[in-house]
Structure 1
């Protein structure tokens, strides 16, 4: 990797290079989730401009887009680019596909020869640190009413990922092998499927940003804006129009340059009006 590439990434994260360690990995993850939003604005515009699929996981495209308009991406962009950063910093690991259309990272723990760590900055779940695989049930500390569990299966390396909110399972369970290593090119069929006309992120507006240090998470799903606090309290607001959406992204998310107007136009051109009451 070129020094320019690496320096740009670390500058955006406000980090300096260090030898690989679990502590440094945690710092990288926390910096990543508070800097790069999980959003589909950039994805909608990629679809509009018919950009090639390789741009989705290209780190130069990713960094330039963020420097220009404060964008991030969905799981394929966020985790693929983080993985390239980790490799450039000397971490070892591989990509995995824990869910049908999801990408995550397995990293070898620099401080323990045989321990593997689960890393995922491309999720709307509150994952702020590497999760160690011990071969036994692991529950992540609750945050904003949400909790994650990793349940070991009958075979070595098999785990089931469960996400709950207020004690209720909120998403499909994912069962996967931590040893099923993949590279970015292997994900192309699933990346392509997320650009199909009927795909979820082609028919909605989505933006999520975690602020671990402030113990809160910001979420925008179409016209519904939600703030979740670490203690479980929730504030939800219905946004009446495009100006209100733009204001929330500027004032709360601190992303005034995110091209949401263009994304909303793209949705409307496709027949999707997020403000429709019918």
Structure 2
């Protein structure tokens, strides 16, 4: 279903070139495949193992800005940070970049802006169209696998760490939940396409006074067969490691050399982490 004129499918300024797309696939260690669920699932699985959910790059961008208004990273800039310095992002920029990759590979779909409980418009996701089926894709939470959507009944998809479900909750809305997680409720999907300009504006607004995760350095990524998470707002410093059965292990971290330790573990630029830690502790 490529080449549609769905709202939100307008040509994005951050469209990826063929050469950059090839570099990204090499970085993710994924071969280009036919447009379909198997390829989509492979891309998601590779992304969550290579690109961290993290706030350090956003914090350094905000604190290094020379003006009050800060523009979000377009997909090309996001991927440059990933390829060159191991960067990632939070939901707005991460889903934006992944959606650009999907489009470059021939997938059709749109971006959405969604709610978490009473907090409106705080989380983003992607809806991918494959034949007559719509799939929820969210590398900004992340969901580790695509989740089919059906307005008539609850759907489920089993990933390596969680089983995800989408329960219809009124016209164009779905409650997204996950098993083996302290918070079963994830978010409420508002299944409505968001135009690129509006999405970019919302992404940039997330750098403002009400922006999320700009007051602490958080990094999480799949490493080996576990999900690892660091949060500078939780003391003493530690790495939380979660197994596929939901078991948790805390690994103590020394404050001295913290940025280097985190950089080595998550394959990120330690200098960016150090600047972010200094900014939130200032």
Q: Tell me the TM-score normalised to structure 2 length.
A: 0.80
- Does structure 1 residue 215 correspond to structure 2 residue 225? yes
Query: Can you give the 5+ residue segments of structure 2 that lack an aligned partner in the other structure?
Result: 1-15, 116-120
Say whether the 8 Å CA contact 2:218–2:231 is kept in structure 1.
yes
Equivalents in 2 of 1:242, 1:201: separation in Å? 23
**Alignment partner, residue 231 of structure 1:** 245
**Superposition deviation, residue 152 in structure 1:** 1.1
- Does structure 1 residue 6 correspond to structure 2 residue 21? yes
Q: Tell me the TM-score normalised to structure 1 length.
A: 0.81
Deviation digits for residues 65-123 of structure 1, max 9, x if unmatched? Answer: 123211111111111011111111111000011222111100012xxx21100001111
After TM superposition, list the pairs within 5 Å mapping 1:25-174 onto structure 2.
Answer: 25-50=40-65, 53-56=70-73, 58-99=74-115, 100-109=121-130, 113-123=131-141, 125=142, 127-134=143-150, 135-141=152-158, 144=161, 146-155=162-171, 157-163=172-178, 165=180, 169=183, 174=187
Q: Which contiguous aligned blocks of 4+ residues in structure 1 show a shift greater than 6 angstroms?
A: none
The residue matched to 2:123 in structure 1 has which SS?
Answer: coil
After TM superposition, list the pairs within 5 Å mapping 1:10-25 onto structure 2.
Answer: 10-25=25-40
Equivalents in 1 of 2:203, 2:17: separation in Å? 26
Equivalents in 1 of 2:271, 2:41: separation in Å? 27
Say whether the 8 Å CA contact 1:149–1:163 is kept in structure 2.
yes
Q: How many residues are matched?
A: 255
Query: Can you give the 5+ residue segments of structure 1 that lack an aligned partner in the other structure?
Result: 270-278
**Superposition deviation, residue 244 in structure 1:** 3.6
Equivalents in 1 of 2:202, 2:101: separation in Å? 22
**Superposition deviation, residue 60 in structure 1:** 2.0
**Superposition deviation, residue 17 in structure 1:** 2.2
